[in-house]
């Protein structure tokens, strides 16, 4: 007899059912992209408004990304404890409210503090959204669905670029940029209240009656044939709370598989380091080369606009070639394109083409990477496993804007700086090829069987790693 989890994963895809969750989750992801891209547009404007040095401009992106790192860890663990639904809504509310307050900040220091707190809220969106969408997605289409979820990222970055460029002529333009982003986020918070709790999560927590209610409703609404099923017994939970719960999740994901967790962290860190460095500093780099605000903003927007095609291509390829192959080929090539951009700075046409190629290839990589890492962990560790990988990358990339602007760019120059980052990506890809399994076509909690093929890390039965 099937389990309730298997019933959910074997349902047909319906846009009015799972598709609704995909869209609502994706819109939250759009705001994550919008906010991170906004750092790059805010840095030169705030530099002029508050008369900031290059290092102080880098702090604008740093505090926001570090806040996101804190949020990714905190909300990933909270979502694994209190449920996807509640965390799904609150993360966006915190982000929207503190973004509005940031738009009203009278001083640079207060602005940094408010951007940090907004980042804490937004940092929880990606791990929570991916966990929720993954657990509602049919197994047959899950890879494409999770990869397609990333299409919201370049849409958000492109939208940010277009709106920010349009607001350049306004007084206090940076304040209007923040306010414009916050209002739709508040509306989305209200919409998210109607999303059901994940039945996979409910069954793992022993809330059988609630799990059956959601599963039966999904079966009816998707038009699937009803069949008997059992709800698996929940894993034991010692009930650690607060900081102990967060540290417990960190211990559990490393206990589950040190090789897989190290691969996930390195992959996230290196790929996102390259991407965030380009995204945060591209407007400033182009302005240093003599472009005006509008031209610099629109060149960065081109990078993200081409990325929309990249995500759609990644969605089509991820279940054909597999997650590891797609990441392993496109990540190094994307990094190389950024090196080419730096070498062609004196050739406007060539550098713009290189920016477009980078945007396309990087958005082949990131969606596949997000889908891949979200599938590597069992249900009770999925949000926190993804969240810690995301957090590790955001701590590292959070300081990248500061180090990039004050150390690497001035001392090494752009070509060598981007070459060093590209070598780091190659190293992470090689380790992932050795240390982590392919997840193409695998059931969400087939972890014990599949990761056992990656010696010598001992792998517990699904769910047993949570204490």
Q: Each residue of 161-193: pLDDT tens digit? A: 999 999 998 888 999 999 998 888 887 777 777
Across residues 40-67, what is the average pLDDT? 88
**Residue 62 CB contacts under 8 Å (≥ 6 apart), including other chains:** 398, 399, 400, 401, 402
Cα(156)–Cα(304) distance, integer angstroms: 9
Q: Is residue 196 part of a domain?
A: yes
**pLDDT level of residue 464 (50, 70, 90 thresholds):** very low
Lowest-pLDDT range of 18-22, 336-340, 436-440: 436-440
Q: Residue 459 CB: number of other CB atoms within 10 A?
A: 22
Q: Which of 20-29, 82-91, 107-116, 225-234 has the highest mean pLDDT?
A: 107-116
Q: Is residue 231 part of a domain?
A: no
**pLDDT level of residue 465 (50, 70, 90 thresholds):** very low
pLDDT in tens, 343-399: 988 887 888 899 999 999 999 999 899 889 888 888 778 878 887 887 788 777 777
Query: Among residues of the chain, what percentage have pLDDT more than 90?
Result: 35
**Cβ pair 392, 266 in contact under 8 A:** no
Count of structural domains, the chain = 1
Residue 144, pLDDT above cutoff 90: no
Residue 316, pLDDT above cutoff 80: yes
Residue 429, pLDDT above cutoff 80: yes
Q: pTM of the prediction?
A: 0.74
Across residues 90-102, what is the average pLDDT? 88
pLDDT of residue 455: 37
Cα(442)–Cα(375) distance, integer angstroms: 8
Residue 103, pLDDT above cutoff 90: yes
Cα(94)–Cα(456) distance, integer angstroms: 42
Residue 453, pLDDT above cutoff 60: no
Q: Is residue 466 part of a domain?
A: no
pLDDT of residue 280: 82
Across residues 249-255, what is the average pLDDT? 88
Q: Is residue 134 part of a domain?
A: yes
Cα(193)–Cα(174) distance, integer angstroms: 30
pLDDT, mean over the chain: 83
pLDDT of residue 116: 95
**Cβ pair 38, 164 in contact under 8 A:** yes
Reported in sequence order, the residue ranges of 167-252 that DSSP labels E, i.e. its strands, are 229-230
Q: Is residue 117 part of a domain?
A: yes
pLDDT of residue 446: 55
260: CATH: 1.20.1250.20
**Cβ pair 12, 224 in contact under 8 A:** yes
Residue 28, pLDDT above cutoff 50: yes
Across residues 76-101, what is the average pLDDT? 81
* Long-range pairs of 220-229 with CB within 8 A, sequence gap ≥ 24: 221/14, 221/16, 221/17, 222/11, 222/12, 222/13, 222/14, 222/17, 222/18, 223/12, 223/14, 224/10, 224/11, 224/12, 227/2, 227/7, 228/1, 228/2, 229/1, 229/2, 229/3, 229/4, 229/6, 229/7
pLDDT of residue 461: 32
pLDDT of residue 55: 79
pLDDT of residue 129: 76
**Cβ pair 387, 330 in contact under 8 A:** no
Domain around 427: 2-223+239-451
Residue 217, pLDDT above cutoff 90: yes
pLDDT of residue 237: 53
pLDDT in tens, 115-140: 999 999 888 777 777 777 888 889 88
Helix, strand, or coil (residue 456):
coil
Q: Is residue 462 part of a domain?
A: no
Q: Is residue 464 part of a domain?
A: no
Residue 256, pLDDT above cutoff 70: yes
Across residues 421-427, what is the average pLDDT? 95
Q: Is residue 230 part of a domain?
A: no
């Amino acid at each position: 007899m099937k389990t309730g989890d298997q019933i959910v994963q074997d349902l047909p895809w319906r846009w009015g059912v799972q598709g609704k969750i995909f869209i609502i989750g994706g819109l939250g992801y759009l705001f994550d992209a919008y906010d991170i891209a906004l750092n790059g547009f805010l840095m030169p404007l705030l530099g002029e408004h508050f008369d900031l040095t290059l290092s102080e401009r880098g702090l604008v992106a740093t505090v926001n990304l570090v806040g996101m790192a804190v949020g990714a860890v905190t909300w990933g663990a909270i979502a694994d404890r209190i449920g996807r639904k509640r965390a799904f809504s609150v993360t966006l509310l915190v982000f929207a409210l503190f973004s509005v307050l940031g738009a009203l900040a009278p001083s640079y220091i207060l602005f940094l503090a408010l951007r940090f707190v907004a980042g804490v809220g937004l940092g929880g969106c990606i791990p929570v959204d991916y966990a929720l969408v993954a657990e509602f997605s049919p197994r047959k289409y899950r890879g494409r669905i999770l990869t397609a979820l990333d299409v919201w990222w370049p849409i958000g970055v492109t939208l940010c670029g277009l709106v920010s460029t349009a607001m350049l002529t306004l007084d206090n333009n940076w304040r209007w940029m923040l306010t414009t982003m916050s209002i739709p986020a508040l509306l989305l918070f209200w919409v998210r209240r109607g999303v059901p709790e994940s039945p996979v999560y409910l069954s793992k927590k022993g809330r059988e009656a609630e799990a059956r209610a959601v599963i039966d409703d999904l079966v009816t609404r998707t038009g699937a044939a009803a069949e008997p099923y059992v709800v698996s017994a929940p894993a034991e939970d010692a009930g650690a709370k607060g900081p102990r719960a967060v540290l417990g999740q960190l211990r559990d994901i490393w206990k589950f598989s040190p090789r897989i967790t190290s691969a996930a962290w390195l992959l996230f860190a290196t790929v996102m380091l390259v991407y965030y460095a380009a995204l945060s500093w591209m407007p400033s780099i182009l302005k240093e080369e003599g472009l005006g605000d509008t031209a610099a903003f629109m060149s960065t927007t081109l990078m993200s606009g081409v990325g929309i095609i990249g995500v759609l291509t990644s969605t089509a390829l991820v279940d054909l070639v597999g997650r590891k192959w797609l990441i392993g080929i496109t990540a190094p090539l994307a990094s190389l394109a950024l090196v080419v951009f730096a070498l062609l700075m004196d050739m406007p046409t060539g550098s713009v083409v290189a920016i477009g190629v980078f945007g396309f290839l990087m958005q082949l990589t990131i969606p596949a990477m997000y889908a891949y890492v979200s599938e590597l962990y069992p249900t009770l560790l999925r949000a926190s496993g993804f969240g810690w990988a995301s957090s590790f990358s955001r701590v590292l990339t959070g300081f990248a804007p500061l180090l990039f602007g004050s150390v690497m760019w001035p001392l090494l120059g752009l070509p060598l700086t981007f070459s060093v980052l590209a070598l780091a990506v190659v190293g992470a890809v090689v380790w992932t090829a050795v240390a982590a399994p392919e997840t193409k076509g695998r059931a969400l909690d087939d972890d014990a069987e599949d990761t056992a093929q990656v010696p010598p890390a001992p792998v517990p039965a699904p769910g047993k790693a949570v204490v």
